[in-house]
Structure 1
Amino acid sequence: MSVSTLKKEKQHKETWIQYSDGYLSKTPIWQYILVSLCFPMWGMASSLNDILITQFKTVFSLSDTATAFVQFAFYGGYFLLAIPAATIIRKNTYKTAILSGLAFFIIGCGMFFPASHMATYGMFLLAVFIIAIGLSFLETSCDTYSTMMGPQRTANLRINISQMLIPFGDAGGILLGKYLVFSDGGNMQAAVKGMTATQRLAYNEHVLQLTLQPYKYILLVLSALFILIAITHMPYSKATVTKKAEDKKSSTVKTTLSSVKHLLKNKRFMKAVGAQFLYAGMQTCVWSFTIRFALRIIPGISDQNATDYMIIGYLVWFIGKVPATWLMSKFSITKVMTVYGILGTLCLIFTFTVHNPIAIWGAVATDFFFGPFWPTIYAHGLDQITEKKYTETGGAFMVMSLIGGALIPIIMGRVSDLSGSMQLAFIVPTICFALITFYFYAEHCYELKHPNSVKEK
């Protein structure tokens, strides 16, 4: 009995029906919950980077530009592995890609233990890079899988619901960092002043050991999630490929190249990829620099207390998703996103122009308007792919766009170093938000001119 026959027989035993385009007649709740639980895990890994950056800056005496290489290693892993992840999905299943991602995630977290003993910046960057490989597999598979696990008309709603869990992971990562990594309290940069070389070395070793604490708990959760997904039957949720199309497949490389060439010619899809690139860079800039901005602009604040602004920011981010999801169910998605973009841009203008400690609240307020952007750009971009056999590679393109989170923070760090003003450097994410707003405004104008082509409300 062939593998495809077995898959069909298994599907007949389930309560859902899979359509030829890969979407399902109904959402399998348990399977959808398991996939959605992966979302806060990569949020937790991402927010811990913001803690690591603050910590590494002191321990390894880094400039703002050099600290951005934590995000470069993180999002560089996303960029390099997104297409291979999509290839695995296409040749196997979403479940295989998810388990592969969780495995790399577990290995990367485990590498923090030898890295803390070697006490070299490069070793930590390697651990972060391996975690990012795992997250590349997870995001490439889970983001697309979430949109496919049910009827097409509710694809945007499903991914927005899944993405609403990310702020809990982000907040969890910051809380782990606040109470486990920054458990000593005080300001690390102030603490090392006046220390002898021997004292500073001992202090740095102590600080690096604290880095391990959050990853112990993350490893336990990841292991449990890996086992649950491994033993659960998951829907196939991929477009049906006819026998004739199967016969034309000469090799994985040729199939991948064919998919890439097809997508590169899809102008509206590629604009969505560009918008996602800018969004990834903008969000990473704001979140990576918020803690350090608070330390600079608020006299005498401790590292631990500075993390409160990120905790509030993640809470605000979550709150921002709720009205946006409701508004997008009632009004034009592109119109809602345009308004959110304008208001978010104004918040960032406030952040870099008001020379007062209150400016930190501009960065925090921006998080409210971040809420719906990533999942909406993702789903809106995939909607531009009419031939669903290219969906997996399209999802990989979207995940590859996270390279913006590696490159744009370096630009922001460079602006900060050259100008001597971290506050002025917030002009970089401001420009990004303005460009994303223009993208959604242009999409809204297009939809007004071509109402019959709009799949979304």
Structure 2
Amino acid sequence: MERNGLVRTKEGRSFLLPFILITSLFFLWGFAHSILDVLNKHFQDTMEITRTRSALIQAVVYGGYFIMALPAGNIIRRFGYRAGVLTGLVLYGVGALLFIPGGKIGSFEFFLFSLFVIGCGLTCLETAANPYVTVLGDPEGSERRLNLAQSFNGLGWICGPLVGGFFLFAGGGDVSTPYAIIGCIVLAVALVFARVKLPEIGDTPAPRMKEESTDSRGLWKESTFTFGLVALFLYVAAQTGINSFFINYATETAGISAHEASVWLSFGGMGLFMAGRMGGSWLMRSVRAEKVLTACAVGAVASMAAVILLPGRAGWYGLLCCFLCESIMFPTIFALALRKTGSNTKRASSFLIMSIVGGAIAPVLMGAIADTSSMATGFSVPLVCFVVIAVYAYRYKAISL
């Protein structure tokens, strides 16, 4: 790595070990989110529920983000990043293990409660890990550093549908086993973090704005933060909606079986997603992050237009292409929104994580549209989201002045 590279400050201090440890968490929550997309279709088939009702799976997980984000931020501000990580891992592990009695009870509502607990845990993990990665090195490299860490989140997104598809579609519909394994692994990781000391790094001035600091009231006067908050809300809404109904679109429009679609989601969609994040981290060495974001948002708009207007194989390819286009959006919007938050990075991060509640809304809207019209038409929701994100990226330089 370069001397003043991703995980080394200008003074020469290296944060390689904490970066590696925290990056492992990105895989864990990527896995947790992506397996929901398979679980969605599984419950539609086994419990004979509508697409609108099955979307409650995403709604309760992402609803946990809205409820838990501020408490998670308070834990981190009072006790540090490590405490936030441990709280998140314990909640995640306990929620996953609740699937064992859930499988015996066979109640959709009990599964929703278990997923809500997992969602609260994921909130703590993301509230701690995302801003922590941005300060583990030279501030100028925050966007690249977060995109690189989020690449391993992409690896988790690949594994989730693969594991879920095997157990739920090819393995006889066993929903308890994969979550029991996940719960044990997560709690084991919690034990590791309980024994490892992470350096507590105070909030640093944002890149390119080192002389500025923002008090808590002034935080809401920063356009890059407030518009970024909206953009992140819409991005998570779009991503969650697309993932939730990927398998439905494949089976209803492209003539692909549910199990085959779960494999496509894993290696095709999520493979492109991970490759895009790694490529984006490399590209941002020479191209400003907001320019990369603009190009990707325009590509996502075009992809969604193909999904809606060209249902069938053409729309299917457009859907896959969208994963590549959306790959860099979350970490890039997150880092751009934090650029001018100064000494309020932890507080700003809590609100940004809170915006992930967008994932609770889009799937329900898309499911309702699909139940009354068509699955292809339901993708008009992420189309609108990507248009707004494109405007944010294109106008970023102007609103940051």
Instruction: Flag whether TM exceeds 0.5 (same fold).
Output: yes
Deviation at 1:60, TM superposition (A): 2.1
Give the Cα separation in 2 of the matches to 1:239 and 1:284. 30
Give the Cα separation in 2 of the matches to 1:28 and 1:95. 15
Give the Cα separation in 1 of the matches to 2:303 and 2:397. 23
Give the Cα separation in 2 of the matches to 1:84 and 1:47. 25
CA deviations 1:335-391 (Å, max 9, x no partner) are: 1211111111101101110132331121111000111110011111111213x1x11
Partner of 1:313: 269
**Aligned pair in 2 of structure 1 residues 262, 25: CA closer, same or farther (>3 Å)?**
farther
Give the Cα separation in 1 of the matches to 2:11 and 2:383. 40
**Aligned pair in 2 of structure 1 residues 18, 92: CA closer, same or farther (>3 Å)?**
farther
Give the Cα separation in 2 of the matches to 1:24 and 1:144. 21
Partner of 2:364: 410
Match for residue 61 of structure 2 among 55, 74, 92? 74
Gaps of 5+ in 1: 1-16, 185-205, 241-257, 451-457
Partner of 2:394: 441
| RMSD (Å) for aligned C-alpha atoms | 2.0
Deviation at 1:408, TM superposition (A): 1.7
Q: TM-score if structure 1 supplies the norm length?
A: 0.80
Gaps of 5+ in 2: 1-6, 205-214
Partner of 1:52: 39
Match for residue 163 of structure 1 among 142, 145, 150? 150
Give the Cα separation in 1 of the matches to 2:220 and 2:105. 43
Partner of 1:338: 294
User: How many equivalent pairs are there?
Assistant: 384
Structure 1 or 2, whichever has the larger Rg, is: 1
Give the Cα separation in 1 of the matches to 2:12 and 2:121. 30
Query: Percent identity over the alignment?
Result: 29
Give SS of 1:329's match. coil
Give the Cα separation in 2 of the matches to 1:24 and 1:416. 55
Are the counterparts in 2 of residues 155 and 379 from structure 1 also a CA contact under 8 Å? Answer: yes
Give SS of 2:311's match. coil
Match for residue 37 of structure 1 among 7, 24, 28? 24
Partner of 1:287: 243
Give the Cα separation in 1 of the matches to 2:221 and 2:362. 25
Give SS of 2:285's match. helix
**Paired residues for 1:269-284 under 5 Å:** 269-284=225-240
Deviation at 1:446, TM superposition (A): 4.3
Give the Cα separation in 1 of the matches to 2:339 and 2:99. 39
Partner of 1:89: 76
Give the Cα separation in 1 of the matches to 2:11 and 2:123. 25
- Residues 1:296 and 2:283 aligned together: no
Further displaced range: 405-414 or 90-99: 405-414
Deviation at 1:303, TM superposition (A): 1.9
Match for residue 61 of structure 1 among 43, 48, 52? 48
Give 1:417's aligned amino acid: D
Are the counterparts in 1 of residues 27 and 153 from structure 2 also a CA contact under 8 Å? Answer: yes
Give the Cα separation in 2 of the matches to 1:273 and 1:266. 11
- Residues 1:213 and 2:168 aligned together: no
Q: TM-score if structure 2 supplies the norm length?
A: 0.91
Give 1:340's aligned amino acid: C
Deviation at 1:433, TM superposition (A): 0.6
Partner of 2:207: none
- Residues 1:238 and 2:206 aligned together: no
Deviation at 1:38, TM superposition (A): 0.3
